[in-house]
Amino acid sequence: MADLCHLEDFLLLSHMIINDKILDEIKNYSVANCHKEVCGFVVLEKDGLFFIKTENKHPDERNFFLVSPKDYLNIKNNHKILYFFHSHIDNAFFSELDILQQKYHNMNMLLYNVKSEEFKEMKCK
């Protein structure tokens, strides 16, 4: 399972996929909420890509994120999900928990670190 997943430098792969407009939107949303982790989904529609924000339901929202199953199912049933996104306040790398979640859901993950202003992605083939 582990070797199916690999970390890629964000700029190498998805700069072509996720356009600057979406990246700016995600960045601004993260910076506006820089005291906590925020999350959402990048979805593909007929007329392009969209970012859908979801509420972080985790009690410790500074350090963790939690999307409610209801929100997740609602988005999954109505959209083609390209990435699950969440922000970090001051850690540029995915946590062990993030990596576990990525493997469990088998979903491309996008991370933005507010402090270093860096995007990172983790993909599953």
Choices 5-13, 20-28, 96-104, 117-125 (CB under 5 A): range interacting with Zn ion:
96-104
Report, in Å, the least distance between residue 47 CB and Zn ion. 30
Residue 116 touches Zn ion, criterion: CB under 5 A? no
Q: Which of 95, 106, 115, 117 binds Zn ion (CB under 5 A)?
A: 95
Written in H, E and C, the secondary structure of the chain is CHHHEEEECHHHHCCCCCCHHHHHHHHHHHHHCCCCCCEEEEEEECCEEEEEEECCCCCCCCCCCCCCHHHHHHHHHHCEEEEEEEEECCCCCCCHHHHHHHHHHCCCEEEEECCCCEEEEEEEC
Which position's Cβ is nearest Zn ion? 98
Which residues in this chain contact Zn ion in the complex, by CB under 5 A?
95, 98
